[in-house]
């Protein structure tokens, strides 16, 4: 991890720890999860919001006022609103994406869940996704949430990533393995 990324992750982790602990104490984890999902969706959809949190040109007050307007419009909980206001005052809004990722991980751990990133050659049907989630639950012992994407270059099969583990059953990987084996022979 590069030094700036490590610093950003460290900053985000401190805010995430405080926010998660406060939400847990006040039994507001469900609300926190909803706020995290809403904030993540807003960041993905709005280039203006991404610009707001990363702009070094805006003053603290400008960032704080803009974030307060965004929070009010989104209807986020007071806990998240106060945290974002504090982050704006401290000029730490640039770590919001890492904060979201950290909070998602903490919430999933609390719920006994893991997220599996699944890349397939074609879109998984509901039945295939259900079977895959059940199989992964048996392997990892936790409820599995699937984050499915499509990559047609796989030709067929799946690539599944859960934490640091990766299972690659794609035809592309099998062809590459076969090609390497043939190079070794000849």
Q: Collapsing DSSP states into helix, strand and coil, what is residue 57?
A: coil
Q: How confident is the model at residue 2 (pLDDT cuts 50, 70, 90)?
A: low
Distance CA(137)–CA(33), nearest Å, equals 22
Q: Which among 52, 60, 35 is positioned nearest to 94, based on CA atoms?
A: 52
Q: How many CB atoms lie within 10 A of CB 179?
A: 9
DSSP secondary-structure letter at 164?
A: T
pTM above 0.75, yes or no: no
Domain ranges of the chain: 3-109, 113-185
Could you tell me which CATH class the domain 113-185 is placed in? alpha beta
Could you tell me which CATH class the domain 3-109 is placed in? mainly alpha
Note whether 50 and 43 are within 8 A (CB): yes
Number of residues written out for the chain? 186
User: Residue 173's pLDDT is what?
Assistant: 87
Q: What is the pLDDT of residues 58-114, one digit of tens each?
A: 999 999 999 999 999 999 999 999 999 999 999 999 999 999 999 998 999 899 899
Note whether 173 and 119 are within 8 A (CB): no
φ, ψ at 96 (rounded to 5°): -55, -45
Nearest 10 degrees: Cα torsion 98, 89, 50, 9: -20
**From the CA atom positions of the chain, what is the Rg in Å?**
20
Q: What is the pLDDT of residues 115-126, one digit of tens each?
A: 899 999 999 999
Query: Residues 25-52, buried b or exposed e (16+ Cβ, 10 A)?
Result: eeebbebbbebbeebbebbeeeeebeeb
Query: Please, how many CA atoms are within 13 Å of residue 91, restricted to the half-sphere of its CB?
Result: 6
């Amino acid at each position: 991890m590069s030094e700036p990324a490590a610093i950003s992750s460290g900053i985000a982790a401190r805010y995430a720890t405080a926010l998660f602990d406060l939400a847990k104490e006040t039994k507001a984890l469900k609300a926190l999860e909803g706020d995290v999902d809403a904030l993540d969706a807003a960041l993905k959809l709005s280039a203006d919001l991404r610009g707001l949190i990363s702009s070094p040109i805006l003053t603290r007050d400008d960032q704080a006022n803009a974030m307060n307007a965004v929070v009010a419009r989104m209807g986020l909980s007071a806990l998240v609103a106060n945290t974002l206001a504090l982050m704006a005052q401290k000029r730490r809004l640039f770590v919001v994406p890492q904060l979201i990722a950290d909070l998602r991980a903490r919430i999933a751990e609390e719920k006994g869940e893991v997220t599996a990133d699944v890349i397939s050659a074609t879109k998984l049907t509901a039945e295939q996704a259900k079977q895959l989630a059940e199989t992964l639950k048996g392997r990892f012992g936790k409820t599995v949430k699937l984050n499915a994407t499509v990559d047609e270059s796989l030709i067929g099969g799946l690539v599944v990533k859960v934490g640091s583990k990766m299972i690659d059953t794609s035809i592309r990987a099998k062809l590459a393995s076969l090609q390497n084996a043939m190079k070794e022979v000849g």
